[in-house]
Amino acid sequence: MTDDYEHYEAVVVGAGPGGAAAAATLARNGIETLVLERGVDAGSKNVSGGLLYAEESSPYTIDDLFPGFREEASDREVTEHYIHNIAGRNVKTFDLHDLHHHDTEWADSVLRRKMDSWLAREVHEMTRETGGGLLTEVRVNGLLREGAEIVGVTLDELDPIKADVIIGADGVNSELARDAGLMDWEEPDEWFQGVKAVAQMPEGAIEERFDVDEDEGVAHLFSGDLFENVRGGGFLYTNDQSLSIGTVFHLDSIADQRAEPQELLDNLLTHPLLADWIGDEYTELEYSAKLVPDSKKVAHPSPYRDRLLLVGDAAGQMQAQGPIIKGMNHAVTAGALAAEAFVDAKSRGDTSAAGERYVTKLENEGVMDKLRPTRYRTLGRLGEVGPVASAMNAVTDSVVGRTAISALGDRAESLFNSPFLMGMLPDTRMGYVTVPTVVAEQLGSPVEGESTVEPPELDDRIGDLTYDVDEGNPHIELRDNSFAASGTAVTACPVSAKDFGGGCYRDEYVGSNGTEEHVVSLDTQPCVECGTCAVVADTNWTHPRGGKGVEYEQG
């Protein structure tokens, strides 16, 4: 009796920037819009590195859609941007000014709990005018179908809801995208994993230590040998009263090298280069993690099915432009375009055409080309093919390569600032490790000082997080608990570690009388819902029910 289900013109799943942008645009056009958010508060489930860009070429920016956004919801405007190439103590710093400002109207540091909860209040006000509103603690768990056609959503807490359009803005681990067959969790090389610590700063310390005004901020990026050959890099952004310090790695690299993400983050936190910025007192407010889609590989060229339109991370819309990662701005654009597509389709009397129109808009507005640059498709991929990659790597590290880089000198800085080159770089060890390391060794100079930072142990990091555990309802199920199938999660999971019993994944030997089996066990209590184990282990992965699980205060 699906006819009895409640119906809205539009249902938006997820109250992040993509969902908020979609809902705001729908509401402005008088579309009856219901927004569903599984967290206790919007932002309580959301993490980002922390830089939100507004691009000049973009048809929508967040402050267009939400006047007052920058005053109320973001932290500092990032006015300076550097990358540090590190080899041991040797550091060579390049100013990324040109790359940072390329097509940039502004870029602000943000903390997602503050940002998303502000957006959600705005969205609630706007959508309730249309007869809808925003509900928190409600988890959409799948798609409602009539025959084969998607007509609505199913929920843990409520009866199914039908809609003329469903905006799937439910994040990187989108259950809707997976239900619709538009995304999967199969290949680790399609994902990055980000881990972040938010560190408290005394009043006035940011202005003093980073030499900025009260409303200005700095972004620092880090690459080189401080991450033990794992492909990726680090970042440090200044918030109003805290620092966001984190690392982002290719998930396949983390998995293959059995790397412990929290230790790689600690390598960054304790590097002497950061000692003066962090200061003598290191107070970690929050430890967090998230998966990041590699849009070059997974940005869906046609992110819709029937009435379901995916936006943001759910559609893989996350651009790594060399060292600069842009995600939230694309989610905002895509959200607004998806809404616009529905409004157009409705005014033409055929709401079922919304998906096609959305795809056309993504192409026409240039979003798709940013996410999947043509030049990467032709050149970059080639560079990742095994023999080519190792040959390039060997050349760079050879005397010839070293001489070339020395000869380049400060001209290397301008190469790093080319958005064209950065979009083409293959994802190999060369770009992340070898080049920066050689640059630092040949061109850099040693940093003074010692770090006194003592990052918390993993059990304390977990202990400091807030959880509402859904007792008796673990949201992740291990399908195969053999170490061979799921053991990678013990190291790759950001809240698990080898020889640590308090994490999600623990390796154990069971059996007696000589036959011993190497297995893993899973406790979802400390889970931060990043989705890493969905990719690297054999699981049935879902989000916890509405309001349950981890609650980020910073995000």
Partner 1 sequence: MPEIDPTDHEIAELGPKIKDVDDADELREMLELEESGEDRAPVKTLIESRIEKLEEEDEEVDPSSADLDDMTVADIANLVRDVDDVTVLEDMLEREQAGQDRKTAKGQIEDRIESIEGSEDEAGEELEYVPPEEKHPDLDHPTNDKQWVENIDGGTYRDMWVYCETQHGELIDVSREMLGKARELMDDYNDRYGVSDEVGGSEDSSSGGDEDGNPEDVVAVLIGDGASDLTEEVIAYGADRVVYHEDDRLERFRHEPYTEIFCSMARAGGQVADEDHEDVEWKEYDEPRYTVFPATNNGRDLSALVQGELDSGLASDCSGLYIEEAMISNPAKTGKPGDSKEFDRILHMKRPDFSGFEYSTILCIDKPFRDFHPQGASVIPGSFEIPEADPEREGEVIDFDMDLNDDWFQVEVTDFDTLDSGIDLTGHDVIVAMGRGIGDAPTEGIELGLDLVDAFDDAAFGLSRGVITSSYDFDGHVEQYIGEDRQIGESGQVVEPDVYIAAGISGAIQHKVGMDESDTIIAINTDPDADISGFSDYYIEGDLFEVLPRLTEAVESGELAAAVAEASDD
89 φ, ψ (degrees, to nearest 5)? -90, -10
Q: Looking at 258, 348, 375, 381, which residue binds partner 1 (CB under 8 A)? A: 348
Does 353 engage in binding with partner 1 (CB under 8 A)? Answer: no
417 sits near partner 1 (criterion: CB under 8 A): no
Closest alpha carbon to 307 in 349, 344, 337, 342: 342
Helix axes 399-408, 435-443, angle to 10 degrees: 60
Q: Verify binding: residue 135, partner 1, rule CB under 8 A.
A: yes
Strand 90-95 relative to strand 77-87: parallel, antiparallel, unpaired?
antiparallel
525 binds partner 1 (CB under 8 A): yes
User: Quick one: which of 28, 89, 97, 402 contacts partner 1 (CB under 8 A)?
Assistant: 28
Asked if 388 interacts with partner 1 (CB under 8 A), we say: no
Start-to-end C-alpha separation, the chain: 41
Query: Which residues partner with 87 through β-bridges?
Result: 90
329 is a site residue for partner 1 (CB under 8 A): no
Count of residues that bind partner 1 according to CB under 8 A: 46
The number of residues in the chain equals: 555
Backbone angles phi, psi at 392, to 5 degrees: -60, -40
In the list 83, 520, 527, 533, the residue contacting partner 1 (rule: CB under 8 A) is 520
3-state SS assignment for residue 198: strand
Distance CA 197, CA 265 (A): 8
From the list 46-54, 83-91, 130-138, 257-265, the region that binds partner 1 by CB under 8 A is 130-138
Which lies closer to partner 1 via its Cβ, residue 60 or residue 235? 60
Q: Exactly one of 129, 397, 523, 553 binds partner 1 (CB under 8 A); which one?
A: 523
- The sign of the torsion formed by the CA atoms of 69, 73, 77, 81 equals negative
d(CA 355, CA 358): 5
Among 469, 475, 538, 553, binds partner 1 (CB under 8 A): 469
Among 225, 252, 344, 441, binds partner 1 (CB under 8 A): 344
Q: Toward partner 1, which CB reaches closer, 294 or 340?
A: 340
3-state class percentages of the chain: helix first, strand second, coil last, to nearest 5:
40, 25, 35
Closest CA to 187 of 322, 370, 316, 372: 316
Q: Which of 64, 256, 538, 553 binds partner 1 (CB under 8 A)?
A: 64
If one asks whether residue 58 binds partner 1 (CB under 8 A), the answer comes out as no
472 binding partner 1? (CB under 8 A)? yes
Ordered alpha helix ranges (H), 32-174: 62-65, 69-72, 97-101, 112-128
136 makes contact with partner 1 (CB under 8 A): yes
Angle at 464 between CA 115 and CA 523, to 5 degrees: 105
Give the residue carrying structure tokens 């809205």.
8
318 near partner 1, judged by CB under 8 A: no
Residue of 65, 268, 325, 489 that binds partner 1 (CB under 8 A)? 65
For residue 6, the surrounding DSSP H or E stretch is strand 6-13
Assess 11 for contact with partner 1 (CB under 8 A). Answer: no
Task: Choose the binding region for partner 1 from 80-88, 183-191, 211-219, 459-467 (rule: CB under 8 A).
Answer: 459-467
CB 431 to partner 1: min, Å: 37
Contact status, residue 18 vs residue 336, Cβ threshold 8 Å: no
Q: Per CB under 8 A, does 262 bind partner 1?
A: no
Binds partner 1 by CB under 8 A, chosen from 9, 11, 23, 25: 25
Rounded to whole angstroms, the Cα distance separating 182 from 15 reads 21
Stretch that binds partner 1, among 60-68, 205-213, 284-292, 422-430 (CB under 8 A): 60-68
Q: Which is nearer to partner 1, 224 or 503 (CB)?
A: 503
When the beta carbons of 443 and 478 are compared against partner 1, the nearer one is: 478
Q: Are 543 and 521 in contact (CB under 8 A)?
A: no
Q: Is 508 in the site for partner 1 (CB under 8 A)?
A: yes
Residue in 381, 452, 510, 540 binding partner 1, rule: CB under 8 A:
510
Neighbours of 364 (CB within 10 A): 11
Dihedral sign from CA coordinates of 512, 513, 517, 518: positive
Quick check: 134 binds partner 1 (CB under 8 A)? Answer: yes
Q: Is 456 in the site for partner 1 (CB under 8 A)?
A: no
SS3 455: coil
Residues that bind partner 1 (CB under 8 A): 24-25, 28-30, 59-60, 64-65, 121, 124, 133-137, 336, 340, 343-344, 346-348, 459-460, 462-464, 469, 471-472, 481, 501-502, 506, 508-512, 519-523, 525
